[in-house]
């Protein structure tokens, strides 16, 4: 009969206005101020006097549709079906009736979603796919995040920290989670060169692309057994896995030598100090599933050290800048290794070029 219905493409996302509750449409762009009422709950007050209550709950990022339906049920029951997600995988319910706050919180508790993550607290960890769904992962993502959040959980539920603390995790240097400007960054690392599959490189990859992919020019084209292939100058390799990204014949993953590095002191907010990158604190911790005890205790120690010593509002990096890095290493009980000294481009700018040294 009639031809198949026309295939619809390029419609883009739904217009956001469709999803905004009435109170937001009414007060759009005319919010006056907000207040944190208690951990996980805040109110935004409009010029109109209208009040919008937000309840922020932890999300696992990886969620099944069965879970999302339960969350939708709670939204129907308490927030007129209106909710949003934050850039850090939290779930926010948007309420107009403050009487619904406590029942909603109880409902969330019942299905295992604690509330918190607002103000001077630890919010959810931005993270990536890990062993659940990625080929480059030097560690798992969701498992490490779950273990770390269980450990630092009291700081999610309470606002007992000097300032904000943002943790992020990426399971390889591709950094899908762009962790490089976080108070604490947990980064999966490889520590050995690719195990080149000499016989297949030529078949599965463009050799010039593989050679060009290496930031340190460690890869050169060679001929072996009459085959065009590539060779890695191992002393020049810093294990970035860029070659593996462009060529499956350069595998990097290794159960014994892959692990996790910890970086500290980055921020993206402009408040007080300018945005800055995180810096290397711990070059390597082993992969130790399911709970990564070395990683969780390292992160927790850093959090507690900062919490005990930073001034109000001071982020991790601001605190360290004030006390200086040598003092930070001392206080944190961390050893300083050759790996801590940069040797890539512009490394010289990171050398200490003054007499400003503390005791």
Partner 1 sequence: MAELPATPLLDDLEKGPWPSFVTEIKNAALHKDSCKDLLGQLERSYREKIGHWKHGGIVGVLGYGGGVIGRYSDLPKEFPGIAHFHTLRINQPSGWFYTSKALRDICDLWEEHGSGLTNMHGSTGDIILLGTTTDELEPTFKALTDVGFDIGGSGSDVRTPSCCVGPARCEWACYDTLKVCYQLTMDYQDEIHRPMFPYKFKFKMSGCPNDCVASIARSDMSIIGTWRDDIQQDDAAVKEYADKGLNIQRDVVGNCPGQCMEWDGEKLTIDNDLCRRCMHCINAMPKALAPGKDRGATILLGSKAPIVEGALLSSVLIPFLKIDNEEDFKDLQALVEEIWEVWGEEGKNRERVGEFIQRVGMANFLEAIGLEPVAEMVAHPRENPYVFYNQGDDEEEDK
Q: Of residues 193-222, which lie at the interface with partner 1 (CB under 8 A)?
A: 209, 212-213, 215
CB atoms within 10 A of CB 231: 15
Contact call for residue 49 and partner 1 (CB under 8 A): no
Rounded Cα distance, 219 and 211, in Å: 5
Using CA atoms, how far residue 69 sits from 75, 76, 85, 234, 342, in Å, is: 10, 10, 15, 51, 48
Q: Which stretch binds partner 1 (CB under 8 A): 95-103, 218-226, 305-313, 327-335?
A: 305-313
Q: 85, 234, 336, 352: which one contacts partner 1 (CB under 8 A)?
A: 85
User: Does 261 help bind partner 1 (rule: CB under 8 A)?
Assistant: no
Question: Residue 19 binds what, of partner 1, ligand SF4, none (CB under 5 to 8 Å, by partner type)?
Answer: partner 1
**CB 193 → ligand SF4: shortest distance, Å?**
5
Estimate to the nearest angstrom the gap between the alpha carbon of 230 and the chain centroid: 34
Among 37, 153, 207, 325, binds partner 1 (CB under 8 A): 153
The partner in contact with residue 238, picked from ligand SF4, partner 1, none with C-beta cut-offs of 5 to 8 angstroms by kind, is: ligand SF4
Which residue's structure tokens are 């072996």? 224
Question: Nearest 5 degrees, angle CA 126-CA 261-CA 236?
Answer: 120
Q: Footprint of ligand SF4 on this chain (CB under 6 A)? A: 128-130, 134, 136-137, 170-172, 174-176, 193-194, 213-214, 216, 218-219, 232, 237-243
- The answer to whether residue 332 forms part of the interface with partner 1 (CB under 8 A) is no
| Sole binder of partner 1 in the list 106, 333, 345, 356 (CB under 8 A) | 345
Instruction: Give the alpha-carbon dihedral of 145, 319, 121, 62, to 10 degrees.
Output: -20
By a kind-dependent CB cut-off of 5 to 8 A, residue 60 interacts, out of ligand SF4, partner 1, none, with partner 1
Residue 235 is classified by DSSP as G
Query: Which one of 52, 101, 189, 282 is in contact with partner 1 (CB under 8 A)?
Result: 52
- For 151, phi and psi rounded to 5 degrees? -70, -45
In the block, tokens 């999803």 appear at: 19
Strands 259-264 and 227-232: unpaired
Nearer to partner 1, 87 or 354 (CB): 87
* Beta carbons within 10 angstroms of residue 344's beta carbon: 10
């Amino acid at each position: 009969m009639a031809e198949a219905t026309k295939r619809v493409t390029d419609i883009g996302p739904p217009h956001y206005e469709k999803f905004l509750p009435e109170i937001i449409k009414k007060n759009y762009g005319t919010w006056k101020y907000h207040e944190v009422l208690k951990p996980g709950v805040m109110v935004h007050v409009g010029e109109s006097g209208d009040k919008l209550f937000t309840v922020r709950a932890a999300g696992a990022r990886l969620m099944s549709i069965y879970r999302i339906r339960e969350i939708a049920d709670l939204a129907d029951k308490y927030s007129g079906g209106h909710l949003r997600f934050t850039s850090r995988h939290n779930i926010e319910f948007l309420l107009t009736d403050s009487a619904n706050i406590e029942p909603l919180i109880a409902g969330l508790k019942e299905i295992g979603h604690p509330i918190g993550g607002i103000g001077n607290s630890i919010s959810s960890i931005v993270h990536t796919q890990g062993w659940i769904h990625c080929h480059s992962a030097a560690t798992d993502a969701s498992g490490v995040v779950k273990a770390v959040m269980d450990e630092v959980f009291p700081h999610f539920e309470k606002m007992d920290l000097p300032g904000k603390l943002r943790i992020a995790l990426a399971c390889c240097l591709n950094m899908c989670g762009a962790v490089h400007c976080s108070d604490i960054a947990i980064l999966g690392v490889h520590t050995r060169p690719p195990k080149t599959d000499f016989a297949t490189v030529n078949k599965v990859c463009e050799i010039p692309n593989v050679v060009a992919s290496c930031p340190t020019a460690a890869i050169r084209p060679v001929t072996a057994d009459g085959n065009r292939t590539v060779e890695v100058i191992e002393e020049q390799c810093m294990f970035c896995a860029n070659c593996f990204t462009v060529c499956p014949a350069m595998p990097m993953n290794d159960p014994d030598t892959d692990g996790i590095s910890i970086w500290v002191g980055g921020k993206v907010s402009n408040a007080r100090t300018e945005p800055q990158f995180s810096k290397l604190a711990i070059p390597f911790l082993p992969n130790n599933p399911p709970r990564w005890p070395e990683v969780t205790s390292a992160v927790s120690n850093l959090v507690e050290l900062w919490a005990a010593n930073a001034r109000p509002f001071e982020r991790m990096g601001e605190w360290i800048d004030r006390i200086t890095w040598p003092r930070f290493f001392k206080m944190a009980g961390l050893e300083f290794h050759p790996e801590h000294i940069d040797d890539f481009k512009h490394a010289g700018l990171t050398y200490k070029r003054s007499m400003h040294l503390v005791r």
